[in-house]
Amino acid sequence: MGLLTMKRPIYFICFAVAVLSYVILVVCTPRAISVSLQDGGSVHWIQPSLLTKCCSSSTCVITFSLGAGGTKSVNLIQNSFQGPVMVLPSSNPNIIFCIYDDDNHYELIRIDISQQFQTLDPRSALYDFVKYSAYKIEAVVPRETNDWNFVASVLDRMPASKFKDQSIGLNLLIYRLRNSQKGLSTSMRKFGYDGPYPDEPQ
């Protein structure tokens, strides 16, 4: 009985160390995502670790590897309340969509890799969270229903396993909390939220 009593603190310490190690891995481990494009190029980005996002506004660098077009990037702010969720190719090989979680709603971003960056309108929804872009980048406004419906239909048809691989969520190593695929699709059909903000250009 005495030996068993002595071993209990050792078991507790081992368990506590294991739990602490897991928490450290969850908090400090970033996650890489890669999406293939129609022309053989690809898009890569790394979700910053939970610690990085909680402590400050970090930068999510989305890298475009386009073969003859070289490697360029789009840099977006990412923190506990904001950040990219998915990158989706469109039916046009020059257009790539990015779903961005902007705290209480989603923005749909259109990136045109055939055109250089153009200065953002200060009234644009993107003005506050686009830190750098090598390409033309703009918010898809509610009246552009074709783009919203296209992204929603892509999400509807996407296999669940692919959605899990290509969407960003809270990484728990063996499990990852994320937006539901159906919920994200529904949100796209509602233009990211229930309606545009009054000061957003239409």
Q: Burial, 173: exposed, middle or buried (Cβ in 10 Å; 0-12, 13-18, 19+)? A: exposed
Maximum pairwise Cα distance, the chain: 76
> Which pLDDT does position 27 carry in this prediction?
42
Q: What is the pLDDT of residue 78?
A: 83
Three-state SS for 75?
strand
* Interacting residues of 6 by C-beta distance below 8 A, sequence separation 6+: none
* pLDDT value, residue 107: 93
Amino acid in the structure at residue 29 = T
Specify the higher pLDDT residue, 12 or 99. 99
User: What ranges do the domains of the chain cover?
Assistant: 25-189
Hey, which residues does 107 pair with through a beta bridge? 100
Under 8 Å between Cβ of 90 and 112? no
- Which of 14-18, 79-83, 144-148 shows the lowest mean pLDDT across its residues? 14-18
State the chain's mean pLDDT as an integer: 78
Instruction: Kindly report, residue by residue over 17-26, the tens digit of the pLDDT.
Output: 555 544 444 4
Contact between 88 and 100 under an 8 Å Cβ cutoff? The reply is no
Give the closest residue to 95 by CA, choosing from 142, 60, 144, 132.
Answer: 144
Q: To 10 degrees, what angle do helices 145-157 and 181-189 make? A: 160
State the DSSP code for 195.
Answer: S
Comparing CA positions, the residue from 77, 116, 79, 75 lying closest to residue 94 is: 116
Residue 12 has pLDDT above 50, yes or no: yes
User: Which pLDDT tens digit goes with each residue over 162-201?
Assistant: 898 888 764 443 333 456 888 899 999 999 874 444 444 4
Question: What is the C-alpha to C-alpha distance for residues 173 and 176, in angstroms, rounded to an integer?
Answer: 7
* pLDDT score, position 52: 56
pTM for the full model?
0.75
* Interstrand relation of 106-116 and 135-139 (parallel, antiparallel or unpaired): antiparallel
| pLDDT reported for residue 164 | 85
3-state SS, residue 119: coil
61-86 residue pLDDT tens: 899 998 777 889 999 988 777 888 99
